[in-house]
Amino acid sequence: MPAQTSFLGEYLRARRALVRPADVGIDSSRARRVPGLRRSEVAGLAGISQEYYLRLEQGRDRRPSHQVLGAIVRALRLDDVALEHMHRLARLDEGGPTGSTTDDGAGPPAPVEPALLELVDGLSGVPAMLMSAEQDVLASNTLARAIRPRLLPGTNFLFHLFTDRARAEVIDWEDDARRAVANLRFHGDPRNARHREVVGTLAIRDATFRELWARHDVEQQVTWVARIRLATAEPVELTCHSLAVPGGSGRSVMTLTAEPGTAAALALQRFTAMRRGLGAHSAASEVGRVA
Where does residue 46 fall: left (phi above 0), alpha (psi -120 to 50 degrees), or beta otherwise?
Answer: alpha
Given a cut of 50, whether residue 286 has pLDDT beyond it is: no
Q: Report pTM.
A: 0.86
Span 124-134, pLDDT tens digits: 889 999 999 99
Q: What Rg do the C-alpha atoms of the chain give, in angstroms?
A: 22
**Cβ atoms 214, 14 nearer than 8 A:** yes
d(CA 56, CA 26): 22
DSSP letter at 224 equals E
Neighbours of 282 (CB within 10 A): 10
**Cβ atoms 254, 248 nearer than 8 A:** no
DSSP letter at 235 equals -
Span 197-251, pLDDT tens digits: 999 999 999 999 999 999 999 998 899 999 988 866 688 899 999 999 987 788 9
**Cβ atoms 120, 255 nearer than 8 A:** no
Structural domains in the chain plus CATH codes: 7-93 (1.10.260.40), 114-284 (3.30.450.180)
